[in-house]
Each structure stands twice: as structure tokens, then as C-alpha cells.
Amino acid sequence: MYITDKRTSSAKPEVLFDSSSEHVVPQHVACASEQEPNESRNLWKHVTKAIRENNLNAATTQKSAIEEQQREHVKEREAQGTRFEPRFFQLEIDGNYHPKMVINDIPKEPEAAKQRVSQWIFAKPDGSMQDMDRSEDDPVVLATPHKR
């Protein structure tokens, strides 16, 4: 990514950000088969696949289907008089959503903190942990950048 300062007479493009020299942080997520249906990687996997295949028509069709399904869910909740309840956030008295996990309950020691937060994120509603082993066709594996 380049930037050019047009205020100078010798406006030459300069590198603002070089993504090829940046370190890619590995994703730490459960495999798609273990994720809930509304988790991003699961929900958008067909859109991601179509984009990777340069099939923008299919990507647009899949994206529209997701958006229509979300609108239908809103209508169903309104008809039933129920509200959407986020898994990780709760509406507080200040009118904003805050994490359900109490930040002060996170241990100070980094490894213990990582373990506590991972357990909070990757625990299924029944308390068991999501599987972190992914197959080659998992959307997370497909979306992981490869060194060229």
C-alpha cells in the first residue's frame, strides 16, 4: 500500500504498509463442524469458498441468502415477542453490550489467562470443549494465507 504527499512538488509514492513482510498470526479457532451455525466461519464458508474461486456471482448469491435468512430470523423473533440473546455479551444498564466474562476474573499470569479465556470462548453450551483439529477442507484451513 502506497501513499503520496500531494503537498510537495516531488510527490513520490512511499510505502505505507507492506503486507508481504508482515507476520501472519495463526488462527486459533474450533473446526467448522464444532462451531455453532451462526459463527462467522461457519456462516460465511460458502461465500469464502466462492471468493477464493473468483466466482463473485456465487459469492453474491450466498451473501444474499445469509442476509435474507437473518431478516427472517428477526421477523420470527418479533412475531414470537423474543429478543436475540448474544452468547458472549449482555446488555447493561448503560445501554451498551459488555462481555459476559468479568475481566477482573481473568488471571494475571499470561498462560492461565489464555486458558481461562479459551475455555470461555470454546466451551459448548453443554460445557464440553470444541474440537480444535481441522481437516484440510475446513473453511479456516482454506482461508489461512500460505507463504509464496
pLDDT of residue 146: 47
Give pTM, 2 decimals. 0.59
Work out the number of other CB atoms within 10 angstroms of the CB of residue 8. 8
What pLDDT, in 10s, does the model give residues 58-76?
999 999 999 999 999 999 9
Provide the residue type at 90 as one letter. Answer: Q
Task: For residue 97, list its beta bridge partners.
Answer: 91
Give whole-number Cα distances, 128 to 85, 101, 118, 119, 121, in Å.
Answer: 21, 18, 12, 9, 11
Mean residue pLDDT across the chain: 83
pLDDT of residue 147: 44
pLDDT category at 6 given cuts 50, 70, 90 is confident
pLDDT, average across residues 100-105: 82
pLDDT of residue 9: 75
